[in-house]
Amino acid sequence: MPEISSFPSPSAHPTSPAFSVKDLSDHIGGTVVGDSSRLIERCCGLESAGPKDISFVSNIKYLGQLSTTRAGCVVVGATLNHQSIYRPASSPLTLIKTADPYFGFRQIMVLIHGLRTHPKPLISPLCDIAPSAQIGNNCYIAPFVTIGENCKIGDRCVLYSGVQIMAGAQMESDCILYPNAVLYDFSRLGKRVIIQSGAVIGCDGYGFATHEGVHHKIPQAGNVVLCDDVEVGANTVIERAAMESTLIGEGTKIGNNVVVGHNCQIGHHNLLVSQVGMAGSSATGNYVVLAGQVGVAGHLRIGDHVRAAAQSGITSDIEAGRDIGGTPAMDFKLAKRVYLQMFQLPEIARRLRAVEAKLVDTKGNQKNE
């Protein structure tokens, strides 16, 4: 059986042109330290990079790898003291310094490898499009796509196999729906929305009225609206509102396996990382970050620029600008102190038992005197 490393990397494009370090630095407005004429062919991680690869460091915990990486060039922060990096004289390190190395590296990746390409415009004869549906110009609609009555598909949209668009749903131009994504009836997508495989947009919210021991379904009469440039990860579910709309604001990016409950209102440019769960009727401001597995209780308000650490449990409203962590969520600095103390609980309990034993012994001796 061949070694894994012998298989071609998805990012390896043998036909891609080589760029000089100077070309790449000029492209992102950086400054070269080292050999600006070195040729670069692809982007790669620090550990696996070779002499014709470029990598990056934006997190200080990876700075140590700069002493050992074989990368031909590394994109780093503009303030990095490169003279403090030990390298043997036979293996000097070439750097591109820039104010935002992560974004700079992203720009280089787009230049070298390009973004994902999609099939040329085509409407497959094997798809099922209702007669009343309106299809824009230059769309790609793959085999086994289903588009219901009175749907509207904008120009240059891409719908892969197995996509289901239910009656009355609409999307504007340049949207991409990957295989088996589902858009329920009357959902609305803005421009350049991306929905990854298996995501479900607009299914019924979890609404039931319990009467005399029986749970009665509440009609979910609203819909879901995704504004321009929203991206939804694989197997994520966004529930339709019971009334009005569940709203995802412009530029928000939602990871895989996220659940957004009915009637939620998500602000602009939020980041909801994988496995976040938001209960119904909660709302976020703009530029909110919810890290992996954050849970948000229902009917809460989270202010602008709030950042919640992974696995935070948000059970009350959060004011704008706060960094929080823990369950229940608290100030992030306090959460770190609380969780550090948890590791000392066995020792604290042992010492407490010892003190209690001494107190019991002291009281016993006093009674005997």
Mean pLDDT taken over the chain: 92
32-61, pLDDT tens digit by residue? 999 999 999 999 999 999 999 999 998 888
Tell me whether residue 268 is one of the annotated catalytic residues: no
Q: What is the mean pLDDT of residues 310-336?
A: 96
pLDDT score recorded for residue 63:
87
pLDDT score recorded for residue 83:
82
pLDDT score recorded for residue 84:
83
Question: What is the sign of the dihedral through the CA atoms of 67, 68, 71 and 77?
Answer: negative
Name the DSSP letter for residue 181.
-
Q: What is the CA radius of gyration of the chain?
A: 27
Predicted confidence band at 90 (pLDDT cuts at 50, 70, 90)? confident
61-72, pLDDT tens digit by residue? 888 889 899 999
Q: Looking at the predicted structure, is the pLDDT value of residue 332 above 70?
A: yes
Predicted confidence band at 316 (pLDDT cuts at 50, 70, 90)? very high
What is the reported pTM? 0.87
Predicted confidence band at 268 (pLDDT cuts at 50, 70, 90)? very high
pLDDT score recorded for residue 7:
44
pLDDT score recorded for residue 15:
56
Predicted confidence band at 5 (pLDDT cuts at 50, 70, 90)? very low
Q: Please state the φ and ψ torsions of residue 95, each to the nearest 5 degrees.
A: -125, 150
Cβ–Cβ < 8 Å for 185, 166: yes
What is the spatial distance between Cα 328 and Cα 304, in angstroms, rounded to a whole number? 20
Q: How do 19-20 and 39-40 pair as beta strands?
A: antiparallel
pLDDT score recorded for residue 360:
79
CB atoms within 10 A of CB 50: 12
Q: Looking at the predicted structure, is the pLDDT value of residue 6 above 70?
A: no
Q: Looking at the predicted structure, is the pLDDT value of residue 10 above 70?
A: no
Catalytic residue among 215, 262, 268, 299: 262
| Percentage with pLDDT > 90 across the chain | 82
pLDDT score recorded for residue 273:
98
pLDDT score recorded for residue 362:
75
pLDDT score recorded for residue 59:
86
Domains in the chain (CATH in brackets) are 4-113 (3.40.1390.10), 122-334 (2.160.10.10)
Q: What is the mean pLDDT of residues 127-133?
A: 97
295-316 core/surface letters (b: 16 or more CB in 10 A; e: else) = bbeeebebbeebbbbeebbbee
What is the spatial distance between Cα 328 and Cα 88, in angstroms, rounded to a whole number? 50
317-341 core/surface letters (b: 16 or more CB in 10 A; e: else) = ebeeebebbbeebbebeebeeeeee
| Ramachandran class of 11: left when φ > 0, alpha when ψ lies in -120 to 50, beta otherwise | alpha
pLDDT score recorded for residue 17:
79
Q: What is the mean pLDDT of residues 192-203?
A: 98
Q: What is the mean pLDDT of residues 236-240?
A: 98
pLDDT score recorded for residue 365:
65
What is the spatial distance between Cα 214 and Cα 273, in angstroms, rounded to a whole number? 36
* DSSP3 helix / strand / coil % (the chain, rounded to 5): 20, 25, 55
**260 or 368, which is more confident:** 260
pLDDT score recorded for residue 86:
79
Q: How do 283-284 and 301-302 pair as beta strands?
A: parallel
pLDDT score recorded for residue 366:
61
**Pick from 257, 203, 252, 246: nearest CA to 231:** 252
CB atoms within 10 A of CB 354: 10
